[in-house]
Structure 1
Amino acid sequence: MRAMAYSETGDSSVLHVVDRELPEPGADEVRVRVVVSGVNPTDWKARAGARAGAPTPYPEVVPNQDGAGVVDAVGSGVTGLAPGDRVWVFLAAHGRPTGTAQEFAVVPAQRVVRLPDAASFDIGASLGVPAMTAHRALTVADGGPARLGPGALEGRTVLVAGGAGAVGHAAIQLARWSGARVVTTVSSPAKAALATAAGAHHVVDYTTGDTATAIRAVAPDGVDHVVEVSPARNAALNASVIANHGTVSVYATDGGAEMTLDVRRHFSLNVRYQFLLLYTVGDAALAAAAEDITRALGDGALGVGEEAGLPLTRFPLERTAAAHDAVEAGTVGKVLVDVSPEITG
């Protein structure tokens, strides 16, 4: 089978095509014929490493955490999954040498989730890191729900920073599906159109006018929950618009790794800052996210493509390096790698 792999860290040129024997699933593992692989910033960052040429965690690494395809074989002890099942895969390469940039991937069964028939492989490959991060960000609020679903966020106002990004897109969709009023910030009219297509009720272009005033105009009592991609850059804005007992969920450090907070302001409003990293949230949180996301898929709440606010940019497997470069360059939307042809009938 074909796979993309690297044996040393560095720029995308370290990726090369390799031929491998078909891997066999072990106990509690599933072999998936990958149809589409999703690329995230974490994938190119892991490949780049702390410095070019640094040792890799394994002699050879196949990148990409997310994907979608069809179960090809199951190992002993696996229940609820069988050959022929359409599935989406998350964190395929976490703690393991191989991800989804290959024709067949062996993945722990707990990271393989049934994909509803109505959901495309493109949607399945676009979930994983972005959607599960968004789910976690929306379920850590002070007094908020631990699970998402219709009505779970009813009466709450959610502010999504960077609504045109992959996590922001998923957060808008999941919050809207759960009944929240969704406000988002973007940096251009084109991104505003995408955020609106994703389902945001109110979109604010932070490059024009007073952003805090614009948000307060639609949320005069403040926002209950912020899904934050850039805590350092947005600290003052969040302090200006957060409601009493509001929560700021931080999932990235865009704009700097250090921030300054007005302690007295946050004291007076009982504000919670919750930091989150998908790789260390624990199996229970991941399982809850997988269940809720699959339910949202069944309800048709998680679309992809330009019409759903998440443009798709595609590359064939042998051009996985170009796919990594596209994500690193900040391509708007989701970057996908077509690995194997979809089998129908």
Structure 2
Amino acid sequence: MKRSFVGRIALFILTNLAVVAMLAIVGRLFGVDSFLARQGSGLNLTALLIMSAVMGFGGSIISLLLSKTMAKWSTGARVIDSPRTEAESWLVHTVQRLAHDAGIGMPEVAVYDSPDMNAFATGARRDSALVAVSTGLLHNMRRDEVEAVLGHEVAHIANGDMVTLTLLQGVLNTFVIFVSRVVGFLVDRFLNRSEDGEERGGTGPAYFFTSLVMQLVLGIGASLIVAWYSRRREFRADDGGATLVDAGAMARALNRLRMQHGEAAMLPSNMRAFGIRGGGMLALFSTHPPLEQRIQRLVDGSWRGGRARYATDGAV
């Protein structure tokens, strides 16, 4: 059976949500939410903001620190410590050269078994990242196209995309947690009034239900922002691939993906680390721009306006 797995960004978001949910459950078990509601009708907004930031950034930072481990586990990727074949030797040396040109430390290089043409990069630090490619990509693309794909992934690392995504996700998590609990508190106070109009102390079921619903709704909105940022970072990574290798090879690699999979097949449940898109409303949740748009930028030269610049030995 073909191994299925989620994309690196989807995996990051899911891990982040799981950690935030775990922290929220632990907080409630220890009475943190009840503590935030002062005696009477007030809400300790300062304490709530601090708690929201700890939970929000805690979730995203832990997700980042686990990103390499989770990626290896989810794909079954094998890190190439000692190349077994000429292709693996070429792969390691190519990544080494591109990393040097981009001014970053040598990433771990891994290969995973999959007929799909895919690649991904992840890691918490620019000088200690992971670049992995599928066997399908190695077998079905020309070497100049594979090199362009590797340049795209190295550019993700050089641009610090995972760290920036972590900070963005942390800010959004903090906002979601803070606002959902404020709204939950206000709704609970409105419904928890006595017949004479006085507010009862403590928090009731309405607080937990409302804050949960609001967290889900606001979380969807936050995911739209993360997806929008991810689409922008894909353009920058394309620019990096074109700069480090060749715009033509980068365009051909994307076109090979488009021709093999077709746009209708670019939104499966498994990871599309290099070319994901959806149609209609799904496009708002897509982490990658349309392939046609990415290819057109490379073909008509408009990518040069936003190209990444690296301190390289004549590579730019």
Q: TM-score, normalised by structure 2?
A: 0.22
Structure with the greater alpha carbon radius of gyration: 2
Give the structure with the larger helix fraction: 2
Q: TM-score, normalised by structure 1?
A: 0.20
